[in-house]
Each structure stands twice: as C-alpha cells, then as structure tokens.
Amino acid sequence: MNEFLPLNQAEMTERSWDCVDFALITGDAYVDHPSFGVAIISRLLEHHGYRVGIIPQPDWRDVNSFRVLGRPRFGFLVTAGNIDSMVNHYTVAKKRRSTDVYSPAGERGLRPDRASIVYANRAREAYGDVPIILGGIEASLRRLAHYDYWDDRIRRSILLDSKADLLLYGMAEPALIEVAKRLEQGIAVQKITNVPGTVVRLFALPEEQITVLPHYEEITSSKPAFAKSFMLQYANTDHLNGSILAEPYGDFFVIQNPPAAPLTEVELDGVYALPFARNYHPIYEKVGGVPAIAEVKFSLISNRGCFGGCNFCALSFHQGRVVQARSTGSLVKEAEQFLGDPDFKGYIHDVGGPTANFQNRACVRQEKQGVCKNRQCMVPQRCKNLVVDHQRYLGTLRSLRGIPGVKKVFIRSGIRYDYLIYDQNPDFFRELCAHHISGQLKVAPEHVSPIVLEKMGKPQKAVYDRFTRQYKKNNRELGKNQHLVPYFMSSHPGSDLASAIELAEYIRDTRQMPEQVQDFYPTPGTLSTCMYYTGLDPRTMEPLYVAKDPHEKAMQRALIHYSHPRNYNLVFEALTKAQRTDLIGHGAKCLIRPRTDKQKRRRR
C-alpha cells in the first residue's frame, strides 16, 4: 500500500519534514482514492515536489485543530469536501440528514454548515499571514453571487464571506500548480490575479476585455437582474471563448478569470496514475471505516465534463461541457491494481463519470472555437454537428473484460439514453445489455410533460420511449430478463399538478414503479435554480410556474407513487384540486379507488 500523507507533526517527523508547504483542510474524512478531490489535489502537489499535509474534519470550535501541522510555508488549501456542506447536511425539505457517508462510520455533525467559510476563517485565526486558497465544489459553485436555498436569499461570493485570498473553481489541477509555483517564487498571493480558473478580489478592473455583471446590490433587489447575471456566467464557462467576468461590490470587484483549459488525455492519465493508497486512512479502521469508499473502491473514473445540457445539473459550471477522457491503457492499468486487493472479488462496479457514454468532444468545432454559447448539443433536438460514437468506450470495456481475474464490468453511472439510440452502430447497446448490467439499468427520463422536459433540458418523451423499446428488444434477443429503473423528479420549475398527473398517468400506462423519486433541489450553479428563485426562464425572461409550497410539492411527489397506500390522501387531494376526479374510480385508467366509508369517517 502507498503511504498516506501526514495528518500531524509526528507523522511529518517520520518523513523528516520540519514543515509542510501546503496544509489541506477538508470537511471529509481522509480517503486517499481518486474519487475524492482531496486525494487528487494532494497527490498532484506531491508529484510536483511539494510537501502536503491533510487536516481532515478539524474541530472548527478549536483553533488549535488548525495548527496540528504547524505553519504551512505557502498556504492553506480549504475545501468543504466532495459535496456542498449544506447538501451534505440537509434534505430538500431542509431536514437534517441522519448520516454522513463521507465521515467515519457515517457519523454526522463532524463538519460545520458552510464549511468552506468556517474553515477559512479559523485558518486565518490560526496563522493570520498565511495565504488561504478555497477549492472544491462548494467554493466552485458559489464563486460569484448565488441564490442560497437554505437562507432563501442571494448570498455574495463565497470568496468574500470566507475572507480567503484566492478561489480555484472547476477541477482546478492546472490552476493549483500555477498558483503553487508563483507562491514558491515568492510572489505575494495578492498579486496572483490572472491565473485561469481562479477568482480574486480587486479594487480596479483589469485592463483586458471583460464582461461586467450586474452589481451585487442590483441582483439582490431585482430577480430579472439576477437572471441576467446568471446567463452571462452560463455563457462564459469555456476556456476558448469565456470572458473575464467582473461582479461589482461597492468600491471593489470580484473577478472571475476564464476557465482553465481541459486536461489532455495524457494529463488526465497522469492524474489517475498518481500513487493513491486507494482506501481510507487507517485511523478510521477502529470505527469501521468511511462508508463512501464502498461504492467507488473498485470503480473507474473514465471521463470528465458533460455536454448533456441538463438544466438542474451544475456540471457546466464545475467541470464544463468539454468531455475529457482517459486512455484505455490507463484504465486497464488501474483495474489491474484491483487484482492485488484481497477485497476484490472480480467485479468492477463502474466505468464512467458524469455521463458514462460520453467519451469524446461533442463536435470538431469545440476543439478550436469552444462550446456554443447559446446552443446545446442534445436539446431541444440533437445538433446536426454532434458526433455520436461509442467505439472508444466499447473498446475500453472489452479490454477491461479481458483482464484475467475480472469477472464482470458494470456501468452504474449515468447513461445518456438519447445519445445511445442516436448511434447507428448497434454494437455498444447490444454489448451493454449483454455484459454490463447487473439485472437492471438505471436511467433518468426525469419527467414526461413536454413543458417540464423543456425546462429541465431533457429530451422529449418519444426519445425515451424509443430507447425503452430497443432495450426490451435487445434483452429479448439475448434471452435476458433485465429491467429499467427510471428516475423521476417532482416539482421542477415548470411542473404544476397537471404536469404531475400527466407523469402519473404515464407510469400507470407503462406499468413502471420508479424506485427513486427526487424532489427538485435548488443548489448553486444551475439554470433550474435560477428559474426556481426568479420565477423566470432566464433564457427568455418569460415567467414560469414554480411549486414552492411544501404541501403542493408533497402532492406532486405522491402522484409518482400514487399506488402506495400512504399517499392515498395526497393523491386524492391533488386529483380533486386539479379537477381530475375522473382518475378516481374503479376503471382501468383510474389512479386510485374512491374512498371507503371507513376512510370517510377517518377524515371527519
């Protein structure tokens, strides 16, 4: 096993270190596996010759917890962890979650709310003159003023509330190494203002061409202004055509430099070849480890980025729309490492990423001109320039299946079913059904109402129906009994009770019983969240319906599981309110039966 990075000064002494160059503070337990951002960042710095120590889940109430590694030479690196700390802590109903899979034994409460802000301020208290650099998804998606669902208001850039010196957004590898080199050269952090993929605070606008966003005070008082600001940000997420963005605050500006260039195949392969221990730190062994490792320990991350265009997803803001993929050789080499692990039983749990079957750039144009600012690749219809090709992915899967000792290679991350059926070559779809499904395939049609699907940025129902027909045909020809598990979303902006009933009728007609239903969760960095807050479609500035009342949201959710007895009253109320009592009765098309005398008495 590769050696873990030090967690305290005693472990530093074992390495003959008198100090670390960077102290990395994280809201997660320390898991040295490439599915964890902290592991990638720390190992990358180590590869470039820097000494890195980890401060996992420090006690934010005690400043001494931030001094366990001593004063770092170049800076504190601060992240809330693999997911936003507020999403980690709270359900969409704003109820506290009972567990935290990124903590030892799943224990909750080991990180604060808004962890990036709290940790950065505590680090400043520990060593006031040490540079503080924010990163990770919490910082990335809150890098400019954003709607915060938990406070139900517009919050300013997290750079300001954290009092950090610099913020790295996106996957951050190129930006971090550039910043590290400048700090090593003795350049003051306040003078590191123009690195791609960073956000800084300045008192004067740069001389380069910039796009000035609406003033912070304007977007807090005007929802149309917030929608305008969001769309300007949304149109500048590509490294080739993204502009410098300036968000005014009083007498200063928060400046977002253009995104860093996506990693090349060689660079991406290099990241995943770093010497990860591929497990949680031994200090967690006595409590049973860290639950989050279970699903990813024997999984392979094959790609980054997504051109799918789902409006409720923050990938465009975080990883970008340019797909970056690893080579087959890199993935095979990583898979071969599994063979020496006594816990490996021959099953690779996943080979994928944000969208597993996206392994190439969407089109040739992206290579020189960047992604289209005002057009999507997949919706509302497939772009004529979209290149649909699964051969690279298929070749990788065949190579992994051929490794002696590998019994099965599953695909559990998202498959984009519309891209799948656009492929004129049937080989991948057939081999997917033959070799890479563990009895059921999870897909995400999300809804069936054309109005809602358009607001979601998802393909229309006819595309999903075409996919399901071909899926059933493939499995029938292969002699397999494999099911589809559809994911549906309730209460997305644009969805009213009529739309929810339309979805319930589709579920009735197709005899599907979805296992997973997700209420729309407004998180920073998505177009759908902008719709939720403003009540506007920011692409057109036209008003749209948004369900915000908790009771109505409960009705929409209940309609998806209309047959469950616990949902009867909510479904009855929804059908009555929507004047669809024709769906209450004994007919084949009815969703529920009329109330019995016993139910009527209970309601009195």
Beta bridge partners of 427: none
Q: Is pLDDT at 599 greater than 90 in this prediction?
A: no
> What's the confidence (pLDDT) of residue 421?
96
pLDDT, tens digit, 9 for 90 and up, residues 475-529: 999 999 999 999 999 999 999 999 999 999 999 999 877 877 899 999 999 999 9
Burial class, 418, CB count within 10 angstroms (exposed 0-12 / middle 13-18 / buried 19+): buried
CA neighbor of 206 nearest in space, from 163, 139, 241, 254? 254
Mean pLDDT (the chain) is: 96
What domains can be seen in the chain, in order of their start residue? Answer: 9-194 (3.40.50.280), 452-604 (no CATH)
> What's the confidence (pLDDT) of residue 516?
76
Confidence of residue 602 (pLDDT cuts 50, 70, 90): low
DSSP 402-413: TSTT--EE---S
pLDDT, tens digit, 9 for 90 and up, residues 283-303: 999 999 999 999 899 999 999
142 is written with which tokens? 């809150």
> Which residue has 């031994």 as its token pair?
282
pLDDT, tens digit, 9 for 90 and up, residues 246-263: 999 999 999 999 999 999
pLDDT, tens digit, 9 for 90 and up, residues 554-569: 999 999 999 999 999 9
> What's the confidence (pLDDT) of residue 398?
98
> What's the confidence (pLDDT) of residue 374?
87
In this structure, what are the phi and psi dihedrals at residue 490, rounded to the nearest 5 degrees?
-105, 155
150 is written with which tokens? 């938990």
Q: Is pLDDT at 77 greater than 60 in this prediction?
A: yes
Strands (E), 387-511: 408-409, 440-446, 483-490
* Three-class SS state of 520: coil
pLDDT, tens digit, 9 for 90 and up, residues 337-395: 999 999 999 999 999 999 999 999 999 999 999 999 989 999 999 999 999 999 999 99
pLDDT, tens digit, 9 for 90 and up, residues 133-161: 999 999 999 999 999 999 999 999 999 99
Q: Is pLDDT at 1 greater than 60 in this prediction?
A: no
Beta bridge partners of 37: none
> What's the confidence (pLDDT) of residue 497?
98
> What's the confidence (pLDDT) of residue 208?
87
> What's the confidence (pLDDT) of residue 513?
74
